[in-house]
């Protein structure tokens, strides 16, 4: 008997049917869903619909209350640490794409320590390790070595790299990695191939099944998301939530987070196909929160200052700050090419102050550590 995985669930849904359903949702259905005690994926679809945007004030208020009830008035802060920009894939929206002739760089042991020291001086305790996909040079052995070197500097290490095998996720777990993030980019299977024409990433199903391997390995937290701007964000977000819904029921010991990367300018890349406004993004965040009270909601520096200031009290639970999206960006090689342009360039101190001014507490370590008092 083969193990069940998300692919089996996914195959029961059609992209065009979901698109149709979203268009047909009525205001009455949105209101009824808002009043329900426990919410299903069908309710999420209603919150996501075009007509639900008329209820944005009510939804924002509910989002604020639900987030405060579950997470308190706190925002967890973290910073990314780019390990390498080597990549064997062609992704048409990314500055690190194989066909982009940039100088490739992978941090050495000494350089990892230099970057860690700078982040530590900024009071960063939670770091997100990021790389492209270069399995031979930046594979599991590289990651395990990097984690060993970085452990003394950080309380919490998350990782966002190429999809790995279950056994490799197990090794990351044993090495003390707290969370693994992997984004499907788009759940539109045909369009996916156009954005990912070459390399391992062009295998849609292998990527789709990755969170199952992460869950089976027992990783504490799993982060999902889609690249907003590639396809219709409403339909893509429905599938992303469907994925989270399945994972939560299957790997109930793990926690889940969602991120909302909106396509940003980068060297040699395409323009967004579907532009998502700030109001759309707020609706999406509210839809996730009202549907799922336990979900962690992470907001990166891709977003602009104004949006980030406002979202502190509207559903966010984690934010990156002072981010550099190039390997060596903090100290070693400040000029190397970024994966994408960040939008909010304020320092860690400035972000902490903005959070405090909003009446929230910036948290430099993980939730679990805060709640268990360790």
HSE-up of 289 (CA within 13 Å, CB side)?
29
Q: Which string of x and - marks every residue 133-152 that binds ligand SF4 (by CB under 6 A)?
A: x-------------------
Backbone φ/ψ region at 324: left (φ over 0), alpha (ψ -120 to 50), beta: beta
Contact 222, 263 (CB under 8 A): no
CA atoms within 13 A on the CB side of 80: 27
Binding mask 171-210 for ligand SF4 (x = CB under 6 A): ------------------------------x---------
Among residues 82 and 291, whose Cβ is nearest to ligand SF4? 82
Considering the complex, state which of residue 49 and residue 89 has its C-beta at the smaller distance from ligand SF4: 89
Stretch that binds ligand SF4, among 43-51, 93-101, 149-157, 286-294 (CB under 6 A): 93-101
Nearer residue to ligand SF4 within complex by CB, 201 or 264: 201
Is residue 87 within the footprint of ligand SF4 (CB under 6 A)? yes
Contact pattern from residue 107 through residue 136 relative to ligand SF4, giving x for each residue in contact according to CB under 6 A and a dash for the rest: -------------------------xx---
154 binds ligand SF4 (CB under 6 A): no
Choices 91-99, 173-181, 207-215, 240-248 (CB under 6 A): range interacting with ligand SF4: 91-99
Of 89-97, 166-174, 329-337, 341-349, the window that binds ligand SF4 (rule: CB under 6 A) is: 89-97
How many CA atoms are closer than 13 Å to the CA of 230, on its beta-carbon side? 28
Read off the tokens for 35: 């009043």
Q: How far is the CB of 371 from ligand SF4 (least distance, A)?
A: 33
- Decide if residue 91 touches ligand SF4 (CB under 6 A): yes
Asked if residue 96 binds ligand SF4 (CB under 6 A), the reply is yes
| 15: contact with ligand SF4 by CB under 6 A | no
For the segment 321-360, give every residue that binds ligand SF4 (CB under 6 A): none
Minimum distance from residue 193 beta carbon to ligand SF4 (Å):
14
Q: Which of 89, 210, 237, 320 is close enough to bind ligand SF4 by CB under 6 A?
A: 89
Alpha-carbon span 145 to 143, nearest angstrom: 5
DSSP bridge pairs for 201: none
Please tell me the distance from the alpha carbon of residue 149 to that of residue 165, in angstroms, as a whole number.
23
Which listed range, 87-95, 217-225, 234-242, 290-298, lies at the site for ligand SF4 (CB under 6 A)?
Answer: 87-95
Q: Applying CB under 6 A, does 219 fall inside the site for ligand SF4?
A: no
Dihedral through CA 368, CA 259, CA 283, CA 317, nearest 10?
20
Judged by CB under 6 A, how many residues of this single chain contact ligand SF4? 9
Contact predicate 89/132, CB 8 Å? yes
**Closer CB to ligand SF4, 87 or 285, in the complex:** 87
User: How near is the Cβ of 92 to ligand SF4 at its closest, in Å?
Assistant: 9
Q: How far is the CB of 319 from ligand SF4 (least distance, A)?
A: 22
Binding site for ligand SF4 (CB under 6 A): 87, 89, 91, 94, 96-97, 132-133, 201
């Amino acid at each position: 008997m083969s193990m069940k995985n998300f692919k089996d669930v996914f195959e029961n849904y059609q992209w065009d049917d979901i698109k149709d359903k979203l268009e047909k949702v009525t205001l009455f259905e949105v209101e009824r869903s808002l009043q329900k005690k426990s919410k299903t994926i069908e309710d999420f679809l209603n919150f996501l619909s075009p007509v639900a945007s008329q209820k944005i004030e009510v939804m924002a208020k509910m989002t604020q209350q639900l987030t405060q009830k579950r997470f308190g008035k706190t925002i967890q802060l973290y910073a990314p640490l780019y390990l390498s920009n080597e990549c064997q894939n062609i992704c048409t929206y990314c500055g690190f794409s194989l066909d982009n002739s940039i100088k490739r760089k992978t941090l050495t042991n000494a350089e990892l320590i230099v970057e860690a020291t700078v982040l530590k001086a900024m009071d960063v305790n939670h770091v997100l390790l990021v790389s492209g996909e270069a399995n031979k040079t930046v594979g599991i052995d590289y990651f395990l070595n990097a984690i060993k070197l970085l452990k003394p500097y950080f309380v919490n290490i998350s990782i966002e790299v190429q999809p790995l095998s279950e056994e490799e996720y197990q090794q990351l777990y044993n090495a003390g990695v707290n969370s693994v993030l992997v984004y499907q980019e788009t759940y539109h299977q045909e369009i996916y191939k156009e954005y990912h024409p070459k390399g391992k990433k062009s295998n849609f199903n292998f990527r789709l099944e990755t969170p199952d391997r992460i869950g089976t390995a027992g990783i504490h937290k799993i982060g999902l998301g889609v690249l907003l701007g590639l396809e219709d964000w409403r339909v893509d977000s429905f599938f992303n939530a469907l994925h989270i819904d399945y994972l939560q029921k299957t790997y109930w010991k793990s926690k889940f987070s969602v991120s909302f990367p909106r396509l940003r300018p980068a060297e040699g890349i395409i323009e967004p196909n579907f532009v998502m406004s700030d109001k759309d993004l707020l609706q999406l965040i509210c839809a996730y929160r009202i549907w799922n009270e336990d979900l962690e909601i992470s907001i990166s520096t891709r977003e602009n200052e104004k949006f980030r200031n406002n979202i502190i009290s509207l559903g966010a639970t984690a934010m990156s700050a002072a981010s550099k999206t190039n390997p060596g960006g903090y100290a070693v090689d400040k000029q190397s090419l970024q994966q994408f342009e960040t939008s909010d360039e304020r320092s860690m101190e400035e972000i902490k102050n903005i959070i405090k001014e909003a009446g929230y507490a910036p948290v430099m370590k993980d939730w679990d550590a805060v709640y268990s008092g360790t």
